[in-house]
Amino acid sequence: MKYSRVLPAVLIAVVSSFTAVPGWAEPGDGVAFNGSDTCAMVPDGKPFDLDALTISAWVKLRQSGGSQVLVNRGEPGSQFTLYLLNGRVRMLIEYAPGKYAHANVPAPPPETWTHYAGSYDGKRIQLYVNGKPQHTTDAPGRIPHCETELYLGCLRPGERVLDGWLEDICVWARALSDDEMAKVAEGAAGGSLDDGFLARWTLASLDGETWKNLAGPGMAARYQEDMPLVVQKDDGYRGIWYSNQKQDDEYVYKYSGGLGTYCMKHRPFAIYSKEANKTFFCYGGTDPELRTLLHMVAYYDHATGTVPRPTILLDKHTTDAHDNPVISLDDEGHIWIFSSSHGTSRPSYLSVSKKPYSIDDFERVLVTNFSYTQPYYLSGQGFLFLHTRYGGGRRLFQMTSRDGRNWSEPEMLAHIEQGHYQISWPHGKKVGTAFNFHPQPNGLNWRTNLYYMETDDFGRTWRTAAGETVTLPLTDPSNVALVHDFRSEGRNVYMKDLAFDSAGRPVILFVTSGGWQSGPQNDPRLWQTTRWTGGEWDIQGSITSDNNYDSGSLYIERDDLWRIIGPTQPGPQRYNTGGEVAVWTSTDQAKTWNLVRQLTRESPWNHTYCRKPINAHDDFYALWADGNAREKSESRLYFTNREGDHVWRLPVKMTEEHARPEIVW
């Protein structure tokens, strides 16, 4: 039997025989998965866009309960999955868009090596146990093609993780015969197995975090064991430096710099507690050599005017600032840190302080996967957690929890074309969210349009600003939540902030521009607001800056006093992310803005991402970082008060347990 589909040359390997993997009877052999946050992923999933396939693996389970994945590609019920569910092992195939079938057999006993394999030939699914066919089911059709990754030992990072060991995982681009499968289970085979043999991962091919593919070059998996909490004190405040999408010009990057408080779709970074008289905050930090992203937790003590040595909560093993943490505070004063991930390549974590109002010790509560993280603790109710999940685009979801430990199933809020970026904010028992969308076929860099909806019943019902009920999820660009059609005007929309007036009516802050690249060709970058008047959306805007990712916060202190703190003024790296920080006020609901003062001057690097705390105290009103926007550099962290008459820098190097931040402007 010859495999006829044309594959890239690097994916085809001629294999004359398999060698048996030794020591099957010895407990602990194979690659270990811990049932919570171990993950192995092949980032490039395109080679697994197959019309026919076979997957095989040896598995030994610690326990056979729950849902555990051996091999997966795609969301639940899509693409293909070899997994355990409710005491049965299943081979699932999506044979048409939204339609799937599976063959299934009893689960193996714990602590016993068992060989499972599933094949699909475009007509039927066949499931094998120890080389023998056990169950067949019809599934006539074709697996839809997609861009998603391949996972080994989990559905996605932190989800349905195998509690046991895997060994000798193989993938073929065709359905093997019964005779061939029997030889595979015996550990040695030859003949026609060389045709279409794509991948093989064994214990012997695991080298640190690289799980090499023995079938040929390419398709190495990235293996990541559990990441324990660090929970130790650092000797100073250092922010993470990050860049995204290189440009072939003097501006170097689409956006870049000191991004410890990045991005605007992560919120909140700080919360003021009246009971403790402290502003608790988190940020994306790093080690002195700038090698990795550290999730950092600290506070500003308003009584003493000091900060402690910050706590290192977690080493994220990446330098991607999309993995930055955010913070929440419950009714009892426990500090919750939501440790995000950029897409599905790494796990996400939820941790909580062991004592109220203390950053000295934490415990891990949850390992899962979420991005662009926006949790809000609503007093007396619990957490309403808005976030993004990847899979066919960036899709908006919500989850709720009364206690932070038991969570509802994710509910999709919106998935329009290629997805969204959102910002949100609470107001009493209300939470509002504003978002754009990524139109097909242009993608992420052509984000446009503006939408808004809100809930005042803990996410059970979502309504427009006018009170019209929204049917979830939103899937059409023209829907009841649409605030303004910027796509028809050819304008990009960058989400910045959300606030509410005294009547609880939303005001959205955003930047519009002519395109995604850094540089003057996409001027003007216009800072705009839109206010719900009770009958319509009123769009205003007169402030300009020089980069799409110039980002600040909006404060509505009174209906006749609005304030923006942000890097609107040109910085040392012109037309790059950030600049010099300024304070603007408006007394006529954004029809005009007055530049009150420029907070930073003659800076060596650009300042970026000015963030407001929840319940902001006048003495700690905005938090941000700086960094060279055109090359990797150190990054420092700053804050200012409401009046903007001082800017303090958090201590970069500490020799004592507490220190007083330095006044720098």
For the record, the structure tokens of 443 come out as 């993608």
- Taking only the tens place, the pLDDT of each residue in 442-474 is 888 999 999 999 999 999 999 999 999 999 999
**Amino acid (1-letter code) at residue 112:** T
Under the banding of pLDDT at 50, 70 and 90, the label for residue 15 is: very low
Query: Length of the chain, please?
Result: 665
Which residue(s) pair with 89 in the sheet?
84, 105
* 3-state per-residue secondary structure call for 269-329: CEEEECCCCEEEEEEEEECCCCCCEEEEEEEEECCCCEEECCEEEEECCCCCHHHCEEEEE
Q: 504 and 487 in contact (C-beta within 8 Å)?
A: no
**Considering only CA atoms, which of 312, 316, 329 is closest in space to residue 378?**
329
Residues 6+ away with beta carbon under 8 Å from 422: 265, 372, 374, 386, 388, 396, 433, 434, 435, 495
Q: How high is the pLDDT of residue 10?
A: 27
Kind plus residue range of the DSSP H or E element containing 389: strand 382-390
In the chain, % of residues over pLDDT 70: 95
**Considering only CA atoms, which of 663, 617, 618, 610 is closest in space to residue 643?**
618
Under the banding of pLDDT at 50, 70 and 90, the label for residue 192 is: very low
**Considering only CA atoms, which of 347, 309, 351, 306 is closest in space to residue 327?**
351
pLDDT beyond 80 at 3: no
Q: Is the pTM of this model over 0.85?
A: no
For residue 512, the SS3 value is strand
For the record, the structure tokens of 59 come out as 């598995």
In the chain, % of residues over pLDDT 90: 83
Measured CA distances, 448 to 99, 248, 262, 366, 616 (Å) = 32, 25, 20, 34, 30
Measured CA distances, 255 to 244, 247, 249, 548 (Å) = 6, 10, 13, 8
**Considering only CA atoms, which of 352, 347, 355 is closest in space to residue 371?**
347
Under the banding of pLDDT at 50, 70 and 90, the label for residue 170 is: very high
Residue range 232-663 forms a domain whose CATH class is: mainly beta
CA angle 77, 119, 9 (to 5 degrees): 100
Distance of alpha carbon 222 from alpha carbon 432, whole angstroms: 38
For the record, the structure tokens of 365 come out as 């509560």
By CB neighbour count within 10 A (0-12 exposed, 13-18 middle, 19+ buried), where does 604 fall?
A: exposed
φ and ψ at 524, to 5 degrees? -85, 145
Measured CA distances, 592 to 135, 561, 588, 589 (Å) = 71, 11, 7, 8
Number of continuous H segments (helices) and E segments (strands) in the chain: 1, 50
Measured CA distances, 153 to 57, 58, 218, 548 (Å) = 11, 12, 19, 40
Q: Which of the listed ranges 59-63, 168-172, 510-514 does the model predict with the highest average pLDDT? A: 510-514
Kind plus residue range of the DSSP H or E element containing 124: strand 124-129
**In the CATH hierarchy, which fold is given to the domain comprising 14-224?**
Jelly Rolls (2.60.120)
- Taking only the tens place, the pLDDT of each residue in 390-429 is 877 899 999 999 999 999 999 999 999 999 999 999 999 9
Sorted by where each begins, the domain ranges of the chain are 14-224, 232-663
Residues 6+ away with beta carbon under 8 Å from 296: 234, 237, 282, 283, 284, 285, 310, 311, 312, 313, 325
- Taking only the tens place, the pLDDT of each residue in 206-253 is 998 899 999 888 889 989 877 789 999 999 999 999 999 999 999 999
Distance of alpha carbon 202 from alpha carbon 118, whole angstroms: 18
Measured CA distances, 480 to 164, 422, 450, 483, 534 (Å) = 48, 17, 11, 8, 15
Distance of alpha carbon 221 from alpha carbon 203, whole angstroms: 12
Locus of tokens 């006829």: 4
Q: Hey, how many other C-beta atoms are within 10 angstroms of the C-beta on 94?
A: 23
